[in-house]
């Protein structure tokens, strides 16, 4: 992917804003969700919404670290846009009667751990770490999950909302890959070693310890929902394909790490990876809620209401 | 010359006219102005054609603006025996900034004992940081005590200012009148024009709109849903007041600023009594405050260990007042302290955390019929939107067209960033003195301290014209260039030029606003009128 003009991208982002009130959430079609779909979809939407929200927090951290004012502003928009996606998805859940009153659906424990990690450490992470992980999460989870949703749900309002969400996401990915290439540009031995140094940072290790099980957990959830896991893998391979299109992209050591990790995830027969990570998923399932600190206040910013 | 209305044409006032010969005699700058006095006796025959415009007043000094700077200049001129002064004021009363900014909570963020003229101190300040009404009262006190009202022409909004080289006169056109002066002091204020910001959809919003600098005192905020856009110096003063009254206040912040506690307290009676009886004690207090603010320059203007210390105070203040981690993150500045104006408030953070207040940091997408749509997809609906979005700052233009020798246009010359000699004179615009001209802004000390230095310099210049019987004092272009080169070199090392976006800088990052140094250094810069740096044009 050729590098994009970030100034033009910022203008485009500003000129293509939409809001929840652009969609008629009471339009006919809500009854197109079948009884069989409903319980699965409820869980699926809650996960999706939380992933958007987690993505939002990551963009907030990246905004603090961005090297230029333009990129800073772009990330602050992406932060808000991911939140908008979460809000829109919550509005869909409301439309489909999946919300318990005004309650925000509970995140699963692996998401909860990632939220905790983001809240504590994300702001201290270098841009190239989050700048590579976030496109991966977006392409894999957003890409695969959204596609699955549109393939299985006929509700026109859902399609209307996701058309807008996907337009935003394509810009997020465009910028994401472009920044990965920027970070890989002019790689030297010293630069590469420097970029890999955070791997020794215990804070990052904790992040990895919550990211690995999250992916496996999401894979399990997807399988449970009836989505062939190959679709998730196909989306993850896209990361390798697009991210590795240019020499700059390939020379970003974090691209190589995430790409290699994606290969582990995709290869179910890699027992050295999957046995311990699956065990972690299981183990984390035993963490009592009481053991976790109160959710950070940014989590409570979610709303399904188009106006406030 | 008094200020009475004059209707004569130029030809009727021969003593006011200068030679009509295109090239006035130019005197070597090094020569003393007194030496040319005799030249003034010779009057060249006028070729100036009679103008059709009515000259409402012709005077020795024309002052534009009746705020602190304009009034202060008039006081100092008169103290120097220069009585022939006309002040043009666009509004119906004096006060400038303090007449216009009457929003609830308006106050100065510099202690009152320092935010006042040293030559007219007020022992009666009721608080350490007095509010807008009390400062305005002080401005009225100055006006009345020094009998300035007769000098002021109210409702005269200057539309253009041009220099008549032949006559050596400045001509200010206001609506249908013309005012002429040998010298002009531009004291219209650097932050005197405000307008609603150019935000998408601003015209579609159907609710009430108020700009902080044009407050609507008839609007009742009780129980209303209110938005405040902007968290700069005005915003942080308005918000605590609105939260007391409104039903709900949402604060829209783009960039969080550094907020330091403001030690605002009521002045005890004994203190006022002391200042009244022993004015020297107030002088001492003023000096102490001045020195304290001067020392802050070390941390605010330049990056030094003191910068880190002041930042720590700011962060401790935030941590002490805001318990929620995310809100703290939202309020934590990401630029070096001093890069933008440091905010002073002890009640802003607590106000944000009141039940009926919420800080919104999502970018604004557009204004809609009912409110503000932010990028997280939500329309926030309001009865009223308060725009605390600051002022129209022109770094490269002038508030009205100013044309100098040979019709040169100041806004054209400044199109790549304003510059002047010692902030006060511009080459090609003789006898034109500016208050808060290019690179005269303080970041750490009282604006009035800087203003006094500028006023006294202008008075010195005007006296030199009179004493030397000069037609004009025109700063040499090379003196101006040398001054600016030095200023820009010094600015490069300051916190203002350290990477943040602020109203101090042009779009290209050129700093035409601030003075890179201590107030003491600025005062020293302005202490001498070095006639070597000027072309002296003899009156003949």
Q: Could you say which of B327, B365, B380 has the minimum Cβ distance to residue A17?
A: B365
Q: Is B262 left (phi over 0), alpha (psi -120 to 50) or beta?
A: beta
Q: Is B61 left (phi over 0), alpha (psi -120 to 50) or beta?
A: beta
Cβ atoms of residues B228 and B239 within 8 Å: yes
Cβ atoms of residues A1 and A184 within 8 Å: no
The Cα–Cα gap between A292 and A114 comes to 12
Q: Could you say which of B326, B371, B377 has the minimum Cβ distance to residue A20?
A: B377
Q: Is residue B112 part of a domain?
A: no
**Is A18's Cβ below 8 Å from some Cβ in B?**
yes
Query: Has residue A93 got a pLDDT over 90?
Result: yes
Query: Has residue A1 got a pLDDT over 60?
Result: no
Q: Residue A36 has what pLDDT? A: 85
Do B329 and B419 fall within a single domain? no
**Is A12's Cβ below 8 Å from some Cβ in B?**
no
Q: Residue A201 has what pLDDT? A: 82
Rg from Cα positions in chain B: 25
DSSP H or E stretch at residue B182 = strand B177-186
Cross-sheet strand order for the sheet of B357-360:
B208-211, B384-387, B225-229, B248-252, B357-360
Do B373 and B509 fall within a single domain? no
Q: Among residues B363, B387, B411, which one ends one of the domains?
A: B387
Q: Is residue B234 part of a domain?
A: yes
Contacts of B523 (CB under 8 A, 6+ apart): B449, B453
- Letter string b/e over residues A194-212, b meaning 16 or more CB atoms within 10 A of that residue's CB: ebeebeeeeebeebeebbb
Q: Do B377 and A88 touch (CB under 8 A)?
A: yes
HEC profile for A117-144?
A: HHHHHHHHCCHHHHHHHHHHHHHHHHHH
> What residues of chain A lie within 8 A of the CB of B326, using their CB?
119, 296-298
Q: Do A297 and B324 touch (CB under 8 A)?
A: yes
DSSP state of B51: P
> What does the pLDDT average to over A92-107?
87
Q: Residue B396 has what pLDDT? A: 61
Hey, which residues does B181 pair with through a beta bridge? B59, B170
Cβ atoms of residues B78 and B85 within 8 Å: yes
Query: Which domain covers residue B364, as residue numbers?
Result: 208-387
Q: Do B325 and A84 touch (CB under 8 A)?
A: no
How many other C-beta atoms can be found within 10 angstroms of the C-beta atom of residue B512? 27
What is each CA distance from B468 to A30, B2, B28, B431, in whole angstroms? 89, 21, 13, 13
Q: Is residue B280 part of a domain?
A: yes
Q: Is residue A15 part of a domain?
A: no
DSSP H or E stretch at residue A113 = helix A109-121
The token duo for B532 is 């070597």
Q: Is residue A308 part of a domain?
A: no
**Mean pLDDT by groups of 10 residues along chain B of 540 residues:** 33 34 37 33 37 78 97 97 96 95 94 95 95 96 97 96 94 94 94 87 96 96 97 96 97 96 94 95 96 94 94 97 95 93 96 97 96 96 95 77 95 90 97 95 92 97 94 96 95 90 86 94 95 90
Do B379 and B407 fall within a single domain? no
The Cα–Cα gap between B82 and B151 comes to 12
Q: Is residue A306 part of a domain?
A: no
How many other C-beta atoms can be found within 10 angstroms of the C-beta atom of residue B460? 16
Q: Residue A162 — very low, low, confident or very high, per pLDDT cuts 50/70/90? A: very high
Average pLDDT of chain A to the nearest whole number? 86
Q: Is residue A25 part of a domain?
A: no
Query: Which domain covers residue A194, as residue numbers?
Result: 34-301
Cβ atoms of residues B395 and B418 within 8 Å: yes
Do B423 and B364 fall within a single domain? no
Do B300 and B282 fall within a single domain? yes
Cβ atoms of residues A157 and A32 within 8 Å: no
Q: Is residue B127 part of a domain?
A: no
Q: Could you say which of B363, B380, B501 has the minimum Cβ distance to residue A308?
A: B380
Do B248 and B374 fall within a single domain? yes
Do B398 and B366 fall within a single domain? no
> What residues of chain B lie within 8 A of the CB of A19, using their CB?
365, 373, 377-379
The Cα–Cα gap between B178 and B158 comes to 9
Q: Within the 226-265 window of chain A, which residues sit less than 8 Å (CB to CB) from chain B?
A: none
| B337–chain A nearest CA distance, Å | 16
CATH number at residue A156: 1.20.1260.10
The Cα–Cα gap between B309 and B358 comes to 30
Do B363 and B426 fall within a single domain? no
Strand pairing category for B248-252 and B152-153 = unpaired
The token duo for B162 is 């041009």
| B380–chain A nearest CA distance, Å | 5
Q: Do A306 and B377 touch (CB under 8 A)?
A: yes
Q: Is residue B357 part of a domain?
A: yes
Q: Do A77 and B334 touch (CB under 8 A)?
A: no
Q: Is residue B290 part of a domain?
A: yes
Q: Do B379 and A19 touch (CB under 8 A)?
A: yes
CA angle A71, A76, A82 (to 5 degrees): 120
Q: Among residues B387, B410, B443, which one ends one of the domains?
A: B387
Q: Residue B52 has what pLDDT? A: 47
- ipTM value of the model? 0.90
Query: Has residue A147 got a pLDDT over 80?
Result: no
What is each CA distance from B223 to B70, B206, B244, B342, B381, in whole angstroms? 41, 18, 10, 32, 14
**Nearest of B87, B76, B90, B89 to residue B3 by alpha carbon:** B87
Cβ atoms of residues B203 and B196 within 8 Å: no
Do B358 and B477 fall within a single domain? no
Q: Is B6 left (phi over 0), alpha (psi -120 to 50) or beta?
A: beta
Do B360 and B225 fall within a single domain? yes
Q: Among residues B387, B417, B447, which one ends one of the domains?
A: B387
The Cα–Cα gap between B432 and B183 comes to 6
Q: Residue B153 has what pLDDT? A: 97
Cβ atoms of residues A93 and A49 within 8 Å: yes
Strand pairing category for B26-27 and B534-538 = antiparallel
Q: Is residue A18 part of a domain?
A: no
Contacts of B419 (CB under 8 A, 6+ apart): B426, B438, B439, B480, B484, B512
Do B379 and B431 fall within a single domain? no
Beta-carbon contacts below 8 Å between A and B: 65
List pLDDT tens digits, range B192-215: 888 888 899 999 999 999 999 999
Q: What is the dihedral angle through the alpha carbons of B368, B369, B370, B372, rounded to the nearest 10 degrees?
A: 20
Hey, which residues does B63 pair with through a beta bridge? B87, B185
Q: Residue holding tokens 């000098």? A: B151
Q: Is residue B100 part of a domain?
A: no
CATH number at residue B183: 3.50.50.60
> What does the pLDDT average to over A12-37?
93
Q: Residue holding tokens 């939002």? A: A56
Which of A10, A18, A19 is the mutation pick for testing B, counting most B CBs within 10 A?
A19
The Cα–Cα gap between B504 and B511 comes to 6
What is each CA distance from B457 to A205, B435, B436, in whole angstroms? 64, 10, 12
Which of B377, B379, B381, B499 is the mutation pick for testing A, counting most A CBs within 10 A?
B377
What is each CA distance from B319 to A278, B308, B324, B441, in whole angstroms? 41, 16, 9, 31
Cβ atoms of residues A188 and A196 within 8 Å: no
The Cα–Cα gap between B89 and B94 comes to 8
Q: Is residue A23 part of a domain?
A: no
Do B219 and B361 fall within a single domain? yes
Asked whether the CA dihedral B474, B479, B480, B481 is positive or negative, the reply is positive
CA A87 to chain centre: 14
**Structurally, how many domains does chain B consist of?**
2
**For chain A, what percent of residues have pLDDT higher than 90?**
27
Query: Has residue A133 got a pLDDT over 50?
Result: yes
Cβ atoms of residues A175 and A82 within 8 Å: no
> What does the pLDDT average to over A111-122?
87
What is each CA distance from B304 to B56, B298, B497, B502, in whole angstroms? 54, 7, 15, 21
The token duo for A215 is 């992916």
The Cα–Cα gap between B340 and A165 comes to 36
**Nearest of A154, A122, A138, A126 to residue A55 by alpha carbon:** A138
The Cα–Cα gap between B118 and B286 comes to 8
The Cα–Cα gap between A150 and A163 comes to 10
């Amino acid at each position: 992917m050729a590098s994009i003009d970030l100034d033009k991208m910022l203008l485009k982002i500003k000129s293509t804003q939409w809001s929840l009130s652009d969609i008629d959430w009471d339009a006919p079609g809500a009854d197109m969700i079948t009884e069989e779909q409903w319980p699965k979809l409820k869980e699926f939407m809650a996960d999706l919404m939380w992933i958007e929200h987690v993505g939002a927090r990551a963009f907030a951290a990246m905004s603090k670290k961005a090297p230029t004012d333009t990129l800073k502003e772009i990330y602050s928009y992406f932060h808000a846009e991911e939140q908008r996606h979460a809000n829109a998805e919550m509005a869909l859940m409301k439309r489909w009667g999946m919300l318990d009153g005004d309650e925000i659906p509970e995140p699963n424990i692996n998401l909860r751990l990632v939220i905790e990690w983001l809240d504590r450490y994300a702001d201290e992470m270098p841009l190239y770490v989050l700048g590579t992980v976030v496109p991966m999460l977006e392409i894999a989870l957003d890409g695969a999950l959204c596609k699955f949703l549109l393939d299985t749900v006929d509700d026109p309002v859902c399609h209307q909302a996701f058309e807008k969400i996907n337009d935003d996401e394509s810009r997020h990915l465009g910028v994401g890959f472009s920044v990965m290439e920027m970070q890989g540009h002019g790689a030297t031995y010293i630069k590469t070693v420097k970029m890999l140094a955070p791997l020794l940072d215990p804070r990052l290790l904790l992040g990895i310890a919550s990211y690995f099980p999250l992916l496996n957990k999401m894979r399990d959830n997807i399988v449970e929902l009836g989505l062939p896991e190959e679709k998730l893998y196909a989306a993850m391979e896209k990361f390798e394909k697009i991210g590795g299109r240019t020499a700059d992209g390939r020379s970003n050591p974090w691209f190589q790490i995430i790409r290699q990790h994606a290969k582990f995830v995709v290869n179910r027969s890699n027992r050295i990876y999957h046995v311990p990570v699956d065990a972690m998923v299981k183990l984390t399932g035993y963490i009592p809620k009481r053991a976790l600190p109160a959710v950070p206040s940014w989590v409570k910013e979610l709303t399904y209401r188009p106006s406030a | 010359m008094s200020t009475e209305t004059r209707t004569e044409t130029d030809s009727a006032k021969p003593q006011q006219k200068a030679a009509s010969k295109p090239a006035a005699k130019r005197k070597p700058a090094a020569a003393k102005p007194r030496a040319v006095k005799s030249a003034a006796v010779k009057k060249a025959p006028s070729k100036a054609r009679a103008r059709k415009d009515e000259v409402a007043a012709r005077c020795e000094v024309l002052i534009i603006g009746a705020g602190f700077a304009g009034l202060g200049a008039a006081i100092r001129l008169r103290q120097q025996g220069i009585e022939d002064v006309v002040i043009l004021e666009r509004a119906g009363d004096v006060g400038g900034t303090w007449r216009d900014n009457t929003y609830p909570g308006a106050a100065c963020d510099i202690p009152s004992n320092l935010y006042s003229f040293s030559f007219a101190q007020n022992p009666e300040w009721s608080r350490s940081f007095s509010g807008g009404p009390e400062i305005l009262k002080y401005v009225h006190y100055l006006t009345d005590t020094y009998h300035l009202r007769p000098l002021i022409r109210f409702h005269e909004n200057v539309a253009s200012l041009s220099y008549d080289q032949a006559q050596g006169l400045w001509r200010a056109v206001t609506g249908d009148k013309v005012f002429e002066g040998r010298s002009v002091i531009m004291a219209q204020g650097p932050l005197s024009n405000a307008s609603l910001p150019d935000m998408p959809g601003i015209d579609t919003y159907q609710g009430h709109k108020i700009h902080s600098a044009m407050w609507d005192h008839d609007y009742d905020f009780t129980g209303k849903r209110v938005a405040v856009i902007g968290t700069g110096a005005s915003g942080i003063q308005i918000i605590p007041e609105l939260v007391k009254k409104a039903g709900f206040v949402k604060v829209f912040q783009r960039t969080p600023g550094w907020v330091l506690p403001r030690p605002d307290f009521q002045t005890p009676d004994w203190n006022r009594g002391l200042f009244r009886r022993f004015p020297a004690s107030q002088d001492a207090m003023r000096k102490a405050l001045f020195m304290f603010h001067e020392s802050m320059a070390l941390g605010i203007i330049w990056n030094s260990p003191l910068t880190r210390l002041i930042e720590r105070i700011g962060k401790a203040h935030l941590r002490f007042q805001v318990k929620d981690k995310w809100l703290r993150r939202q309020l934590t500045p990401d630029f070096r302290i001093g890069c933008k104006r440091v905010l002073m408030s002890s009640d802003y953070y607590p106000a944000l955390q009141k039940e009926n207040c919420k800080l919104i940091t999502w970018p604004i997408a557009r204004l809609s019929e009912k409110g503000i749509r932010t990028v997280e997809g939500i329309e926030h609906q309001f009865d009223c939107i308060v725009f605390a979005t600051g002022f129209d700052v022109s770094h490269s233009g002038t508030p009205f067209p100013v044309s100098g020798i040979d019709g040169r246009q100041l806004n054209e010359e400044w199109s790549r960033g304003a510059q002047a000699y010692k902030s006060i004179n511009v080459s090609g615009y003789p006898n034109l003195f500016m208050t808060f001209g290019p690179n005269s802004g303080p970041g750490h000390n009282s604006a009035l301290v800087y203003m006094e230095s500028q006023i006294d310099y202008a008075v010195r210049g005007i006296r030199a014209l009179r004493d030397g019987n000069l037609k004009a004092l025109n700063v040499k272009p090379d003196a101006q260039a040398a001054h600016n080169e030095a200023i820009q070199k010094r600015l490069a090392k300051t916190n203002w030029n350290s990477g943040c976006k602020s109203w101090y800088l042009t779009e290209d990052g050129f700093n035409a606003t601030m003075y890179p140094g201590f107030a003491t250094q600025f005062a020293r810069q302005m202490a001498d009128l070095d006639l070597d740096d000027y072309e002296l044009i003899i009156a003949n």
